[in-house]
Amino acid sequence: MRGSSLTSPSSHITLTEFCEAHYKGSDIYDGLETVIDAIASGAHDLEKQIRNGNLLGMLGSTGDVNVQGEIVQQLDAISSDTFVQKFQDSLRVAMVGCEEIENPVLIGDSSQHNYIVLMDPLDGSSNIDVAVSIGSIFGIWKRESSKSLNIESLLRPGAEQIGAVYVVYGSCTVLVVATQDRVNEFTMNPENGQFHLTSADIIYPNKTPYYSVNDGNTAKWVDGIVKAVDELREGRSQRYIGSLVADFHRNLVKGGVFLYTADTKNIDGRLRLMYEANPLGYVSVQAGGAVSDGEKNILEIQPIKLHQRVPLIIGDKRLVNQIMDTIKSS
């Protein structure tokens, strides 16, 4: 459920003002405002690249294949470099895990570098060429200061996140910040690049008019998923963009659920636990929703590898539970 919006951007509190009021000087969130500011700055820079990508010849692939086995788009590479640099400049992020990069990126090891970030810097990048909404996703964990930095530093359950952020580059550019029991949306003012609070204390609405699933995978679904989707069709409309972050945002705002489950081709699921499922799962839970792999809460999974894949059911808690019950009874 969204808060009311005002008519003039200047009448909204800025993201910087919000973060300073809620996080700066806090024992729990010490320095988090700087990490969020780094994400906002990177999103502002990337938004300009996306808007002008076709004119500047930055669309299309690089010819490389990433660690996921996917063709790297030019803007994938640009987005990774942009956010890694922003985190380096923040002096608060110790290490970054990135969907596009095989190994962790070590940034800083001083006591001030007290956060680690895992990110999908450009979710839905295959949609860039056709002007469909895309986004960026970030999970934020407090660094375990007593331990040395290595890949194990990043392999932590989603429940241990201190916050999560995602950005949607669409008809407007919105940035959503989630911390404990608090989800807020900020919209970028294109005139000055500042993000302004436009929806406060977001929770899932009571109505659930939408479900999001790729029907092209129907032939590969197991029986429980077929039945669960049939149940969702009763009284609901299907909306599927193909950019996870955009589908998730619509369902959060309007009400609904997103599914990309395991199937006969992808027995471990298709989406990434650390870069997509954990951060968006954290947002969902803080907004009163749920997240599951079809059997258990995804945020409770102990990851065993950085680029681990997972089935994903995320959105309205009632619908997530309904789908899980149907799977279990099939």
**Domains annotated on the chain, with CATH:** 9-199 (3.30.540.10), 210-329 (3.40.190.80)
Q: Is the pLDDT of residue 210 over 70?
A: yes
Grade residue 63 by pLDDT with cuts at 50, 70 and 90: low
Higher pLDDT, 137 or 73: 137
pLDDT of res. 76: 85
Higher pLDDT, 4 or 244: 244
Task: Using only the alpha carbons of the chain, give its radius of gyration.
Answer: 19
pLDDT over 70 for what percent of the chain?
90
Q: Is the pLDDT of residue 128 over 90?
A: no
Strands laid side by side in the 115-123 sheet: 105-106, 93-98, 115-123, 134-142, 161-169, 173-179, 182-188, 195-199
Grouping H, G, I as helix, E, B as strand and the rest as coil, residue 295 is coil
pLDDT in tens, 142-170: 999 878 899 999 999 999 999 999 999 99
Q: What is the largest CA-CA distance in the chain?
A: 55
pLDDT over 90 for what percent of the chain?
81
pLDDT in tens, 260-298: 999 998 999 999 999 999 999 999 999 999 999 999 999
- DSSP collapsed to 3 states, 236-273: CEECCCCCHHHHHHHHHHHCEEEEECCCCCCCCCCEEH
Higher pLDDT, 15 or 127: 15
pTM here is 0.94
210-212 and 237-238 beta bridge pairing: parallel
Site of tokens 């959105």: 315
pLDDT of res. 7: 46
Q: Name the region of 154 (left: φ>0; alpha: ψ -120 to 50; beta: rest).
A: alpha
> What is the Cα–Cα distance from 149 to 162, expressed in whole angstroms?
18
